[in-house]
């Protein structure tokens, strides 16, 4: 298992619950999220910046 630090950009959602689900779905594309945080919000573009640590299985 290896860990990776990643950043992602996710579209803002109508509710915090929907935003959390969208973030987790985006992070799952890179691996299993260990932790993540919203680090920026771009109101003009309607996006949030996310930094995360994910794990992937060793190949």
Quick: pLDDT tens for 7-47.
Answer: 999 999 999 999 999 999 999 999 999 999 999 999 999 99
Partners of 32 in beta bridges: 55
pTM: 0.88
Which of 14, 56, 3, 12 shows the shortest CA–CA distance to 38? Answer: 12
Give DSSP secondary structure letters for the chain: -EEEEEEEEEE--SSHHHHHHHHHHHHHTTSEEEEEEEEEEETTTTEEEEEEEEEE---
């Amino acid at each position: 298992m290896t860990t990776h630090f990643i950043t992602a950009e996710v579209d803002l959602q109508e509710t915090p619950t929907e935003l959390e689900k969208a973030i987790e779905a985006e992070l799952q594309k890179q691996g299993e999220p260990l932790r993540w945080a919203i680090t920026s919000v771009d109101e003009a573009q309607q996006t949030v910046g996310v930094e995360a640590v994910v794990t992937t299985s060793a190949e």
